[in-house]
């Protein structure tokens, strides 16, 4: 039976694994390479690593880290954080990653996505779109850890990224990050219906039932989460977990 990909999204800060709530309140989780080993054992479909300080510090996610993940991971993985040049993408792919995740550079220079897709293929290029609701309840597209706003709505920006050649969109609710409130199904549905490329839901997943809703109700092509895969129980005890044999059914 077909099921969508289930993707842990792992945040890096000073090369340590951390987890946030609404892009704030960072908590140290542990060693990221150890997490990769556990996700290997759990047979995770795919991993995404995001270096959350890289753009602000005007650097790229470290290549030696990408190499270590590439040596250890049994599954495909993508990385993001501070990517600004085609050569950086080339080196990241050379060191073992299957995909790169673009955020700030896509917002600041959308044509870079076209250049990257032409050079490396659309299947390699993922754009992560971060979204907040404003005081009036309207969706706004943000970047640079949610600190800057774009003129495009999430739907407009997703369509632009598809036009530029992105092969996949990760749509992330900043408001629900780390909250366990469930996905923003309205947001995911709007974006999924507006583009023909795969859309990955991210932000707020509380349990595997939320995965089912995101796929069947909001027509997400894949589902992703952070807290759900690194915490356990109401006290949020750190425990890497993953159910690779979860059965999706309507």
Q: Enter the tokens of residue 33.
A: 């390479």
Q: Give the E-state strand segments of 134-167 in sequence order.
A: 139-143, 148-149
Q: Is the distance from CB of 226 to CB of 236 less than 8 angstroms? A: no
Which sign does the torsion angle of CA 229, 174, 172, 214 carry?
positive
Question: How far is residue 101's CA from residue 245's CA, in Å, rounded to a whole number?
Answer: 26
Are the C-beta atoms of residues 131 and 140 closer than 8 Å to each other? yes
Alpha helical stretches, state H, 45-84: 63-72
Does the annotation count 130 as an active-site position?
A: yes
Give the separation between CA 241 and CA 128, rounded to whole angstroms.
24
Q: Which of 64, 87, 130, 175 is catalytic?
A: 130
What's the CA gap between 232 and 151, in Å, rounded?
38
List residues with catalytic annotation. Answer: 130
């Amino acid at each position: 039976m077909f099921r969508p990909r289930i993707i842990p999204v792992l945040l890096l800060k000073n090369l340590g694994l951390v987890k946030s709530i609404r892009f704030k309140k960072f908590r140290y989780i542990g060693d990221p390479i150890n997490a990769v080993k556990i996700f290997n054992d759990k047979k995770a479909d795919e991993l995404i690593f995001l270096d959350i300080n890289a753009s602000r510090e005007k650097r790229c996610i470290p290549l030696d880290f990408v190499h270590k993940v590439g040596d250890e991971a049994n599954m495909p993985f993508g990385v993001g954080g501070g990517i600004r040049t085609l050569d950086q993408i080339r080196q990241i792919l050379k060191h073992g990653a299957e995909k790169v995740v673009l955020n700030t550079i896509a917002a600041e220079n959308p044509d870079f996505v076209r250049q990257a897709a032409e050079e490396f293929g659309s299947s390699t290029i993922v754009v992560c779109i971060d979204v907040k609701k404003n005081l009036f309840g309207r969706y706004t597209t943000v970047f640079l850890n949610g600190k800057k706003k774009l003129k495009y709505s999430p739907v407009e920006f997703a369509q632009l990224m598809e036009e530029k050649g992105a092969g996949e969109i990760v749509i992330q609710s900043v408001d629900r990050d780390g909250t366990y409130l469930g996905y923003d199904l309205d947001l995911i549905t709007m974006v999924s219906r507006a583009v023909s490329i795969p859309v990955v839901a991210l932000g707020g997943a509380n349990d595997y039932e939320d995965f089912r809703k995101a796929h069947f109700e909001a027509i997400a092509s894949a589902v992703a989460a952070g807290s759900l895969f690194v915490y356990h129980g109401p006290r949020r005890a750190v425990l890497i977990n993953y159910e690779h044999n979860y059965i999706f059914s309507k």
